[in-house]
Amino acid sequence: MDTTSVTSKGQVTIPKQLRQQLGIRQGSRIEFALVGNHVEMRVQSSPADERGTGFGMLKSRRKAVPVDLDVATLVKPVPRR
């Protein structure tokens, strides 16, 4: 059994092995219940697995392109002969 300490804000770190087994990651919703003299924790929901989509895998140092950018406005017309 793993032991952890409580921060001044009442936060605890869930051990990595337990997070992996339960599928807990950033954005997961956790439910707590007092049962007798102990606390039970249940995973209500976990965000969609982003690894399967590839979302967020690539990082760029460039600024994001505006959503309304029309690339056709960047192309100079070629004069016809």
Determine, yes or no, domain membership for 18: yes
Determine, yes or no, domain membership for 12: yes
Count of the separate structural domains present in the chain: 1
**Residues 6 or more apart in contact with residue 56 via CB below 8 angstroms:** 50
CA atoms within 13 A on the CB side of 55: 6
Determine, yes or no, domain membership for 5: yes
Determine, yes or no, domain membership for 66: no
Other CB atoms within 10 A of residue 15 CB: 13
- Output the pTM of the full model: 0.53
Residue 49 has pLDDT above 70, yes or no: no
pLDDT of 6-48, one tens digit each?
Answer: 999 999 999 999 988 988 888 899 999 999 999 999 999 887 6
Determine, yes or no, domain membership for 61: no
Alpha helices of 1-81 — where are they, by DSSP H?
16-22
pLDDT of 53-80, one tens digit each?
Answer: 676 677 888 888 888 888 888 888 888 8
Residue with tokens 């016809």: 80
Determine, yes or no, domain membership for 44: yes
* Domain enclosing residue 22, as ranges: 1-48
CATH value at residue 30: 2.10.260.10
Question: What does the alpha-carbon distance between residue 50 and residue 54 come to, in Å, rounded to a whole number?
Answer: 6
Residue in 6, 2, 48 with CA at minimum distance from that of residue 23 = 48
